[in-house]
Amino acid sequence: MKFLTQNDPAIDALFGEISPPAAMNIGGSDPVQGLGNFIAFGINMFILVAGLFLILYLLWGAFDWINSGGEKEKISKAQSKITHALIGMFLVFAVLAIFNLFAGRMLGIVEEGGSGFEIKLPTLGQ
């Protein structure tokens, strides 16, 4: 009677090779690079969603201003929406600039590539 061992080719033939899960395989075979790509994707999606919300809120304020009919209270509410949208836009750009300065220039973690941010997570040496 023959017992199968861990390095037996019959086990690979029977069950197949073990590979990392697809979610961690974003950056190739290196899971650290995959996690960095996942974080960079999250940052890019944050920028996109924040930009869309800022544009929509700005347009909503402009629409309210147009439909105010000259009433002072409605005009002030519309101006408030437009002001808040512009402040939000400034805050998003300021946060991204500070993040890029701190993580990119000081720590060297973030690099800007052709497809957006590329994050190099620090690892322990082998």
Q: What is the pLDDT along the chain (126 residues), one digit of tens a residue?
A: 566 566 667 777 777 776 655 554 455 566 666 777 777 788 888 888 998 999 999 999 999 999 998 899 999 999 999 999 999 999 988 988 887 788 777 777 777 666 666 677 666 665
Residue 108 lies in a domain: yes
Give CA–CA dist 52/80, Å, rounded: 19
In a domain? residue 12: no
Question: Do the domain assignments include residue 126?
Answer: no
125 is a domain residue = no
- Residue 1 inside a domain? The answer is no
Q: Is residue 81 one of the residues assigned to a domain?
A: yes
Q: Is 72 part of a structural domain of the chain?
A: yes
Tell me whether residue 45 is exposed, middle or buried, using C-beta atoms within 10 angstroms of its C-beta: 0 to 12, 13 to 18, 19 or more.
Answer: exposed
Annotate 72-109 with b (16+ C-beta within 10 A) or e (fewer). Answer: eeeeeebeebbeebeeebeebeeeeeeeeeebeeeeeb
Please indicate, yes or no, if residue 39 is contained in any of the structural domains: yes
Domain residue limits at 73: 22-112
Indicate the number of domains in the chain: 1
